[in-house]
Amino acid sequence: MNTLTHNSAMRNELVNQLIDPPTATFILRVTLGIVLLTHSLYLKLMVFTLPGTAQFFVSIGLPGMLAYVVFVIEAVAGIALVLGIKTRLFSALVIPVLLGATWAHSSNGWLFSNGGGGWEYPLILTVMAIVQAGLGNGKFAISSEQN
């Protein structure tokens, strides 16, 4: 084996050890959980307030009470995903919420940087949740799901 091939093989082995599928699944799980937590606890609770979020829901034709349900689902699922508790269940639970967010932002155009936020960001979060539901926990999870 020549030096170039040997060095390439060593790099590939190092990458495989650092970012193996269970580690990648863990990174996705924690990232999705943190985003859900920040969107519920920070954005909906602190920035817009829950009554303000409920008013927004009413303004787009949804029941105001649904805002509180969405807040709880995002917060609980976010915590569960960060900790690795029932990852498949909580990932699946947020898919309708994220599809609803995609719909709510659909009239604002594609880019999330548009006024009112576009639908690209909620759509990618939906895809992340679908993938996470398929992958399960990954590393460092509290619950032991079979992957």
d(CA 16, CA 9): 10
Q: Is 15 domain-assigned?
A: no
Are the CB atoms for 87 and 143 separated by under 8 Å? yes
User: What's the whole-model pTM score?
Assistant: 0.84
Q: How many domains in the chain? A: 1
- The whole domain housing 81 covers 21-135
d(CA 17, CA 112): 35
Q: Is 58 domain-assigned?
A: yes
Q: Which pLDDT belongs to residue 7? A: 67
- Reduced to 3 states (helix: H, G, I; strand: E, B; else coil), residue 75 is helix
Q: Which pLDDT belongs to residue 136? A: 92
Crossing angle for the helix pair 65-83 and 50-59, nearest 10 degrees? 120
Q: Is 146 domain-assigned?
A: no
Could you state, in chain order, the average pLDDT of each consecutive group of 10 residues for the chain (147 residues)? 66 74 93 96 94 96 97 98 96 98 87 77 96 92 73
Q: Is 144 domain-assigned?
A: no
Q: Is 78 domain-assigned?
A: yes
Q: Which pLDDT belongs to residue 146? A: 58
Q: Is 145 domain-assigned?
A: no
Token duo for residue 147: 């992957």
